[in-house]
Amino acid sequence: MLSFESDYTTGAHEKILQRLCQTNLVTVPGYGADPFCASAKEKIRLACALPEAQVELLVGGTQTNAVVISTMLREYEGVFAAQTGHVNAHEAGAIEYTGHKVLALPQKNGKFTASDLQQALVLFHGDNAREHMVWPGMVYLSYPTEYGTLYSKQELSEIRAVCDEYRLPLFIDGARLGYGLMSRECDLTLPELCRLADVIYIGGTKVGALCGEAVVFTKNNRPEHFENRIKKRGALLAKGRLLGVQFDTLFTDGLYFDISRHAIDMTEQMKDIFRAKGYRFFLDSPTNQQFIILPNERMEALKPHVRFSFWETYDENHTVVRFACSWSTTEADLKALEALL
């Protein structure tokens, strides 16, 4: 069935599958100590222009957020995030499960500002905070955000400056990083983004892999005993090769960027189609997710023919829905969609 439901409805890029088949019977040590992981990490360091960075491969996005946040925070600290941030709104309390509070910041279109952050920090370090308020230990944001929007270089630099002032690490959730970097609105390169972050993860699951997220500790700041901690959280894969082979392939000859750019091209075409047909956009998103305000009747009429995601109720008669493109979206998919709209 025609599906624009999300960017995780198909399997993996064919090159990944080929490489999994080719390497299948090579015997390697378990738990990530294999040459595929080593090679993948080296290629990611190169792509980030951080030859000394520590790279770790994990399985999924929520897992990665929980691991990074709970291993980097001291036990009495909390993490700032936009109210709509994935860790605050859509991870079923995975951060709190690790004993840490998410400190919600006001947001607009999925983003908070340096000034919002600054104001909150004044409060949390204030006179009557003392032992009664959570001590802030990290700042989290996603690039792109949950609304598909992007922080500009200027906005991120301002947030970075506040982080520096308060000595807070900045964690960038890049579950859809490729689609952000290849967006026509993006004014940052991967190396530039990495330099702004203390830790960032490069999403594989939504960008061509079966699973996998690559965490980059940019400042020689990987928490000590990291493997042990991952194990303790049930997040250590026995056959680490599954992650190694996938990221090694994605970062060979720029595949990760090429397939992300393709997704953006498809999205731009999809936006043109929606625009041409007179559909209303809920907000202006420059990445692979588009939020459309549908009259409820129209929504029901479309449902039997194409899959899309419910986003939120707009008003009594309208609903915001999400149409997403991905690395596997084809021109044929778009033609089919156009015919339906």
Instruction: Output the smallest distance, CB 176 to its own copies, in A.
Output: 12
Pairwise CA distance, residues 325 & 314, whole Å: 22
- Rounded CA-CA distance 202/205 in Å is 9
Identify which of residues 210 and 283 has a Cβ nearer to its own copies in the complex: 210
Q: Whose Cβ is closer to its own copies: residue 184's or residue 232's?
A: 232
Least Å distance, CB 46 to its own copies, is 26
CB atoms within 10 A of CB 139: 26
The Cα–Cα gap between 91 and 207 comes to 20
Quick count: other Cβ atoms within 10 Å of Cβ 144?
Answer: 28
Q: Which is nearer to its own copies, 130 or 167 (CB)?
A: 130
Least separation in angstroms between residue 191's CB and its own copies is 27
Give the nearer residue to its own copies in terms of CB position, either 50 or 105: 105
Tell me how far apart the alpha carbons of residues 201 and 59 are, in angstroms, rounded to a whole number.
12
Nearest approach, Cβ of 214 to its own copies (angstroms)?
15
Residue 200 Cα distances to 124, 278, 279, angstroms:
25, 38, 35
CB 188 within 8 A of CB 223: no
Residue 64 CB, shortest distance to its own copies, in Å, is 8
Enclosing H/E stretch for 340:
helix 331-340
The residue among 100 and 160 lying less far from its own copies, judged by its C-beta, is: 100
Contact assessment for residue 262 and residue 36, using Cβ atoms and an 8 Å cutoff: no
The residues facing 79 across adjacent strands are 102, 138
Q: How far is the CB of 32 from its own copies (least distance, A)?
A: 9
Query: Torsions phi, psi of 293, nearest 5?
Result: -90, 110
In the complex, minimum distance from the CB of residue 254 to its own copies, in angstroms, rounded to a whole number: 22
Cβ–Cβ under 8 Å, residues 87 and 140: yes
Q: Which of 20, 153 has the CB closer to its own copies?
A: 20
Q: CB-wise, 102 or 186, nearer to its own copies? A: 102
Helix, strand, coil fractions of the chain, as percent rounded to 5: 40, 20, 40
